[in-house]
Structure 1
Amino acid sequence: MFRVEVYTTPTCEDCRNFKKFLEEHEIPYKAFDIAENSDYATELRRRSGKNLVPTIFINDQMFFGFVFNRQEIEELLLEHNK
């Protein structure tokens, strides 16, 4: 089972698309809204060195953005769910 975490903001279209993808495929995830909680923003900088959303962690792999990494993320998550 994969552990999926995403750092997000409410105004981020790419974040919404990623969460929609996860929900459509019934993949559990944990979302951290950095606009709502500044501690999450600090944690994001510590974990990734950046303040970009969405920053996606799938187990120990890190991805900056969904659109640019969609193929790799889909292969990783959907192949495992078959």
Structure 2
Amino acid sequence: MASIEIYTKPTCPYCHWAKVLFTRKQVPFQENPIDGDVDLREEMIVRSGRTTVPQIFIDGKHVGGCDDLHALDTHGGLDLLLK
């Protein structure tokens, strides 16, 4: 099973939608909430090159944000990465 990390904020609807997709697929994920954690936010920015949440990594590979994740799923690429 793939290792999934999601950098999130609790009030972010896109974070919620990304987590719902993984939950619907019954795939466990590690949530890294960055609100109030400057070091974790900086880690996310360094790893992804982006400042917005969510930022999603599958097996250490950056796949982008919520829209990127759903596009990957729509085109069949997400299930391949989750194997």
Q: Is contact 1:52-1:64 (8 Å) kept?
A: no
- The 2-side partners of 1:9 and 1:39 are apart by 14
**1:28 corresponding residue in structure 2:** 28
Q: Is contact 1:6-1:56 (8 Å) kept?
A: yes
Q: Relative to structure 2, which stretch is displaced further, 44-53 or 6-15?
A: 44-53
**2:79 corresponding residue in structure 1:** 78
* Equivalent residues in 2 for 1:27-46, closer than 5 Å: 27-46=27-46
* Equivalent residues in 2 for 1:1-82, closer than 5 Å: 1-73=1-73, 75-79=76-80
Structure 1 gap segments, 5+ residues each = none
> Could you tell me which amino acid in structure 2 is paired with residue 10 of structure 1?
P
Q: Over the residues paired in the alignment, what is the CA RMSD in angstroms?
A: 2.2
Number of positions where the alignment pairs a residue of Structure 1 with one of Structure 2: 82
- The 1-side partners of 2:68 and 2:47 are apart by 20
- Residues 11-49 of structure 1, C-alpha deviation per residue, up to 9 Å, x if partnerless? 211110010111122101001111142221011122122
- The 2-side partners of 1:60 and 1:15 are apart by 18
